[in-house]
Amino acid sequence: MATPTFRSGPITFRVKENVKKFRLVAVDADGAAHAGASGPVYGAVVSDAHVPSEPQPNSLYIGNPPVVSVFIGPATVPLEVDGDADGISQGTPIYAAADGKVSTSGALLVGVAARDGGSGRVKTTLITPAVATAGGGAEGE
């Protein structure tokens, strides 16, 4: 019997582009970056991360880390909404939108609102990783 190598919690990845917290990300061989509306979506992040830059002489500034923890389903995380978050009610299907944000409509289902939206974000129970099928719908639809 095989033992799983991972069961719960976030998985850490290097970033290939700067990543903002509360966004969906895609992961490939080069690292993590904001996911697009059509996917694929690997998971969601709750902290910022930046591509490393050249150190400046006589500077103590360290900056954000070059790695980010990526949460996958069934985690519940806050996500930034593309549009009005106040109109989202608990139980609403949540879809991927441009630049790693989420929306109440789209082609790629990534979760369900666990709480009412507000302040530009909605707490979402993830069903990721999610990949669009050849027909344009999300896997499992």
Residue 92 lies in a domain: yes
Provide the residue range defining the domain that includes 84: 12-53+63-126
Residue 6 lies in a domain: no
pTM equals: 0.87
Classify residue 29 by burial, with Cβ atoms within 10 Å: 0-12, 13-18, 19+.
exposed
Residue 4 lies in a domain: no
How does the average pLDDT of the chain come out, rounded? 90
Say whether pLDDT at 137 is over 70. no
Say whether pLDDT at 24 is over 70. yes
Q: How many domains does the chain have?
A: 1
The answer to whether the beta carbons of residues 79 and 92 sit under 8 Å apart is no
Residue 58 lies in a domain: no
CA distance 71 to 75: 6
pLDDT at 113: 98
pLDDT at 1: 56
Residue 27 lies in a domain: yes
Residue 140 lies in a domain: no
Residue 135 lies in a domain: no
Say whether pLDDT at 134 is over 70. no
pLDDT, tens only, 57-96 = 887 777 789 999 999 999 999 999 999 999 999 999 999 9
CB count in 10 Å sphere of residue 121 = 19
DSSP the chain: -PPPS--SS-EEEEBSS-B-SSEEEEEETTEEEEPPTT--B-EEESS-B----PPPTT-----S-SEEEEE-TT-EEEEEBSS-GGG--TT-EEEE-GGG-EESSSS-EEEEESS--BTTEEEEEE--SB-B-TTSSBTT-
Say whether pLDDT at 116 is over 50. yes
Residue 137 lies in a domain: no
pLDDT at 141: 44
